[in-house]
Structure 1
């Protein structure tokens, strides 16, 4: 009462001892040929009570009606009282005795027994006899006389009055009631007998039925969740759900008791079960688990197909291996193999009659014979062998060039070799010089050779091509330099004259008209090498020569580019002396220079003589030297105080050369510095004189006039020597000559 429906397996309640005769009757009826329903099970008859109470007072009368699922009942009706057949054939009977009543129609099996009680008690508890799982049941506490203070009990525990049982279930609960019943003089407390409510199944636990019971792999199967509702509750709506192991199949919940599986496989051979549930009231029951056995058909007629067809494909393409079986059910394991290898190339397990293995970018090592195998537990079946051949494109060829010597020369016979290491034969080789075809050769295997004789035009880039109709490959380029020996060079002068003057610069020109650079040119005078020049990019070379008188004679040149020197023809050149105008100018220049030096020397000697005589006269008169105010005072020199060091040589007197320009009022003095120092010889004055001309310094002095100051008047009174002294200080003649 009030319990939720169980999701577990529902067992029938154990029959009470008094129910065993009823079970015997049920066994007897199973061997009779009554009508059957669509499921093949004969439906039971059932009893209806009016009034519906299973407990009544003595002398009450109850009407029993026998029904089946095909009501109204047809034919004779059989009634039983306490397992005894009653002599009554009608659909309804009236009873007034306590006991078990059953009935049966011609189209049904024996009904369940219904116990009806006629009591002599003063207080009884009444409940409907036809109660199903989930029904609401109203209990009535009835007394023969007036009663009050009625109370209800379940398993000796008081419950509320006017009790209504909500959603009863099949259990062993016992109910009774109490009340105060009016007696002759007073109210007496009465207790009813205990009552067990006979709750019937709303529907039986379902049974899962598979059709066909042993299907073949790949075929459909229908699952049916079979149960029945009693005729009294035929209006109840049921819904169903199917399970494989513990996983629901399809959609839960469905009003259809059937589920169709499109295909079943050997791995689907597991336990199946179903559940049935009433919408109102919510009663749910499940079936027992049923094992589904799936038959498997072994594979047969295994074949291997290759794409591209005929097994002809080019290296680098993709190869498809298709393995198929004509028969076989369930999951098939396909494997692919190449003859001579232990390990399989691939393996696939799938539920189909064919499978594909793709080998990407096949290479030469993939050529050979292939086969496949198929297995669906009954053992592998092999296909026939199919050969796969590969057409291999040519690889990039290797180009080589051979010549009889390290450096190829004009006239040499060279060989061009071209070879591809890989490629399906035949291979066509083409040879190129600067992308111009020289020739071609087709060979089944190995390399191709092309020979030719070199000319000067054969320098440049060489290459080759390989072609076997699967693609063209070009080799790397090889540079060939054909060395051309130099020709006899042409020797010329610039300017081109047969005679030249000593001192002129003459350009000697040598050029070979042909020859591979670089070219080295040699220039000769009477077979003696004057020098060499290189022309790194070809052409000619020049050599400049400053001519001397002894250069008259034969000139020539040679050219060499490593293949042997070639000489030019000799050219004769005559050298003559310098022209007369040049000699005259030189002579005049030298003579003028010598006369100038001699004049200066004579002048210096005379001045020195007069000065010496004047100074001696002054010394003889005064005993000390005297100087005119206009004389330039000699710069003081620092004496050498170190007695161990050599003294400087006697320094000549500074030279003052006073020149009177005539009518001008200025006199220019030329001063020659002749000082000596104690520095090293590299800085000595003599070394300086040897390297440079003496430093010339000019200073301006005004000429003396009679109307000047007293100092100027004293000059007039002096004699001629005094006048000379005012204008020049003349050193010894030796100092002038040193210049």
Structure 2
């Protein structure tokens, strides 16, 4: 910060408080669709540390459920249990909605309700246990990817954005002494865990001796806000602050040698997702530069003040003659008007009267 700005402005330091983290709804088992009469447990996950004796609120399709526990189980799921589920801890923010489907089909392709990059993805071609099943096959975008025989679950592994696609499973189910083909398909969209980080520096123009703060700015998905990210900072390719939970790197009294190309990297606790920012060149200015900035600023301010004074004087001098001329024209116009006005009882001198008066005033011979 330049000395001029420091003189003009009063710096007020305000402690920045992080926004409240929304809770996240999860299912166990982690399938977005279950067969009718099966069970699923829902949990309201909050960012640590969780408060003891915390009261929770649950909602389905924006309607309040009479449930105050952190977790509850839907037993013997049926059509009335289908909907978007949300939760809230105490008086905090409400979570994003997570949808539960209940199906009565012979075969369903089960996938997690939400899939994020870095997740380990499993798919299940599921049917009722009382009906024997064989020839289970999985497809992606109309191409076969795996045939499992009697097994029902396929481990896809760690996913990225390219894992998205149309998935289908099929199997032969025995019913009434014969096998029949059934299938189901789901369009899986892998979502971004967190945005690509960006380097931000404060203050915008760093002068030698300033307290410089570099922030690694990223945003978690609302459905994964409870994830604790880790941050690392680099200058000119060298590590200046190792992985930690802080997204800021501070230099209390920055020097010219702290100039350089800064970048940061963000990862999940397991390292399953890791993203690096683009580099940003940060140039620190010396005190001489700051003094030159002061001189230039003062000079510009002086020029502006002189220009304003000259403009005011010019306009004032120009306005005075115009005002005088206006008064003069007004007075002359008033005199002419007076000369043309006659009183009602005033008589106009006639020529004969003028001659008579002249003869009377002449001296006698």
Q: Do they fold alike, i.e. is TM over 0.5?
A: yes
- C-alpha spacing 1:203/1:128, structure 2 compared with 1 (3 Å): same
Q: Partner of 1:122 in structure 2?
A: 106
Q: 1:188 aligns with which of 150, 161, 180?
A: 180
Equivalence map 1:568-579=2 (5 Å)? none
Residues 482-538 of structure 1: CA deviation (Å, up to 9, x unaligned)? xxxxxxxxxxxxxxxxxxxxxxxxxxxxxxxxxxxxxxxxxxxxxxxxxxxxxxxxx
Aligned partner of 2:71 in structure 1 is 92
**1:210 deviation in Å?**
3.5
What residue in structure 2 maps to residue 76 of structure 1?
Answer: 55
d(CA) in 1 for partners of 2:178, 2:294: 90
Superposition pairs for residues 325-344 of structure 1, below 5 Å? 329-331=287-289
Residues 187-586 of structure 1: matches in 2 within 5 Å?
Answer: 187-196=179-188, 199=190, 201-206=192-197, 208-212=199-203, 215-227=206-218, 230=224, 233-234=227-228, 238-242=230-234, 247-248=236-237, 250-251=238-239, 254-256=242-244, 257-261=247-251, 262-263=253-254, 274-278=264-268, 280-287=270-277, 329-331=287-289, 378=295
Asked whether the 8 Å contact 1:74–1:106 carries over to 2, the reply is: no
Structure 1 stretches lacking a partner, 5+ long: 1-37, 297-327, 333-373, 380-739
Structure 1 residues 49 and 209: alpha-carbon distance in aligned structure 2, compared to 1, 3 A threshold: same
TM-score when scaled to structure 2? 0.59
Secondary structure of the corresponding residue to residue 188 of structure 2: coil
8 Å contact from structure 1 (residues 52, 130) kept in 2? no
CA distance in 2, matches of 1:148, 1:134: 31
SS of alignment partner, residue 174 of structure 1:
strand
**5+ long unaligned stretches in structure 2:** 1-15, 148-152, 297-365
> Which of 1 and 2 has greater Rg?
1
Question: Which structure is richer in relative contact order (CA contacts within 8 A, separation 6 or more)?
Answer: 2
Cα drift, residue 163 of structure 1: 2.5
The residue that corresponds to 2:159 in the other structure is 168
> Do the aligned residues in 1 keep the contact of 2:233 with 2:265 (CA within 8 Å)?
yes
Is residue 2:135 matched to residue 1:149?
Answer: yes
The answer to whether the 8 A contact 1:202-1:233 is kept is no
Report deviation, 1:207: 5.1
Q: Corresponding residue for 1:440?
A: none
Distance across 2 between alignment mates of 1:61 and 1:210: 51
Q: Which whole-Å deviations, capped at 9, do the CAs of 1:257-313 have from their partners, x for residues lacking one?
A: 443344256x96x9965332347444232458889797x7xxxxxxxxxxxxxxxxx
Q: 1:159 aligns with which of 145, 154, 171?
A: 145
Deviation at 1:63, TM superposition (A): 1.9
Aligned to 1:50: 28
Aligned to 2:171: 179
Does the Cα contact within 8 Å between 2:57 and 2:67 map onto a contact in 1?
Answer: yes
- Deviation for aligned residue 1:89: 2.7
Cα distance in 2 between the residues matched to 1:214 and 1:252: 21
State the 1:48 CA deviation: 2.5
Partner secondary structure for residue 186 of structure 2: coil
Q: State the distance in 1 between where 2:90 and 2:205 align.
A: 36
Deviations 1:122-162 (A, max 9, x none): 00112233644212222111112211000011122111245
Aligned with 2:105: secondary structure? Answer: coil
Counterparts of 1:112 and 1:289, CA distance in 2 = 33
What is the SS of the residue equivalent to 1:41? coil
In structure 2, the CA distance between the partners of 1:115 and 1:228, relative to structure 1 (3 Å rule), is: same
Q: CA deviation at 1:226?
A: 4.7
Matches within 5 A, 1:9-48: 40-48=18-26
Counterpart contact for 1:135–1:281, Cα < 8 Å: no
Aligned-partner SS, 1:42: coil
Cα 1:148–1:94, aligned 2, differ >3 Å: closer, same or farther? same
1:49 shift after superposition: 1.6
1:92 CA displacement: 2.4
TM-aligned CA deviation for residue 177 of structure 1: 0.3
- Local SS of the residue matching 1:71: coil
